[in-house]
Amino acid sequence: MVKIRIEAASVSIGRRAVLQDVSATFEGGSLIGIIGPNGAGKSTLARAILGLLPVTSGHIRIDDRDIAKMDRPTLARTIAYLSQGQTLHWPLSVERLVALGRLPYLAPLSRLLPDDAAAIDRAIQFADVGELRQRIATELSGGERARALLARALAVEAPALVVDEPLASLDPGHQLEVMDLLERQAASGTLVIAILHDLTLAARYCDRLLLLGRGHLIADGTPAEVLTEDRLASVYGITASIDRTGANPVIIPLSRI
């Protein structure tokens, strides 16, 4: 299983320090939630893990290899990525959309091989979009589109998967469907890192949470350890009621401080 190690990593964009001295280690077979308010540095951390943003200090390593020294095709085969707010512009079928996940394995002008076709089939089946296979992706509903885009990322069959706000604009039922898929993918041995805003769903599904605030890692641990009234007040600026009677905390925001 893959291991990603972040060692005192800082990231600056222009003159602004967006992440400062963040350290954490992630291993395959787990669903990791990255939470925090807007502007906390969540997407910046995800893009740094993907090698899309360079660290200004520290290191990020994948299986003891510094990502700064890894070529793009190797990184793309190691970490699949579903970015936030993806808009579909081309009228591709869902099957062809999912097939784009195999691009990291293809040489220029080459065709899909039987192994690629098998990976596409597995992703379509796992994401439960078989009935949509010949549908035009731009004509899908929000929930259908979310599953199709997730299938494209799964088709990479990378040992790690990073998803940035996969629940955005989805109704509660489709949010549960997507989180169920991510939980199943982690159970299969993949390292899944998800940027989430819904704290109750993060607490329910994630094995571990990283709480970011103003570019700093505020807390790292189980949902019950990370989600406290004091932290929600200091990081999110809210009062909240946390119901701990069940297996996972249920967070009810009450008011701004």
Does residue 150 fall inside a structural domain? no
Q: Is the pLDDT of residue 87 over 80?
A: no
88 pLDDT tier (thresholds 50, 70, 90): confident
Mean pLDDT in residue range 82-95: 87
Does residue 136 fall inside a structural domain? no
Does residue 204 fall inside a structural domain? yes
Q: What is the pLDDT of residues 124-183, one digit of tens each?
A: 999 999 999 999 999 998 889 999 999 999 999 999 999 999 998 889 999 999 999 999
Q: Is the pLDDT of residue 90 over 90?
A: no
* CB contact at 8 A, 187 and 200: no
Does residue 162 fall inside a structural domain? yes
Residue whose pair of structure tokens reads 């890894």 in the numeric block: 70
Domain count, the chain: 1
Q: What is the pLDDT of residues 1-48, one digit of tens each?
A: 999 999 999 999 988 999 999 999 999 999 999 999 999 999 999 999
Q: What is the pLDDT of residues 110-139, one digit of tens each?
A: 899 999 999 999 999 999 999 999 999 999
Does residue 32 fall inside a structural domain? yes
85 pLDDT tier (thresholds 50, 70, 90): confident
Does residue 125 fall inside a structural domain? no
* CB contact at 8 A, 19 and 9: yes
Q: How far apart are CA 73 and CA 61, in angstroms?
A: 16
Mean pLDDT in residue range 202-227: 97
Mean pLDDT in residue range 210-218: 97
CATH of the domain at 240: 3.40.50.300
Give CA separation, 119 vs 68, 79, 209, in Å. Answer: 28, 16, 30
Domain span at 58: 3-88+155-256
Does residue 76 fall inside a structural domain? yes
Q: How far apart are CA 66 and CA 83, in angstroms?
A: 22
Mean pLDDT in residue range 218-229: 97
Give CA separation, 217 vs 7, 121, 163, 166, 214, in Å. Answer: 12, 39, 19, 22, 9
Which tokens is 132 given? 């949509």
Residue type, 22: V
* CB contact at 8 A, 17 and 10: yes
Does residue 26 fall inside a structural domain? yes
* CB contact at 8 A, 185 and 123: no
The values of phi and psi at residue 35, to 5°, are -125, 165
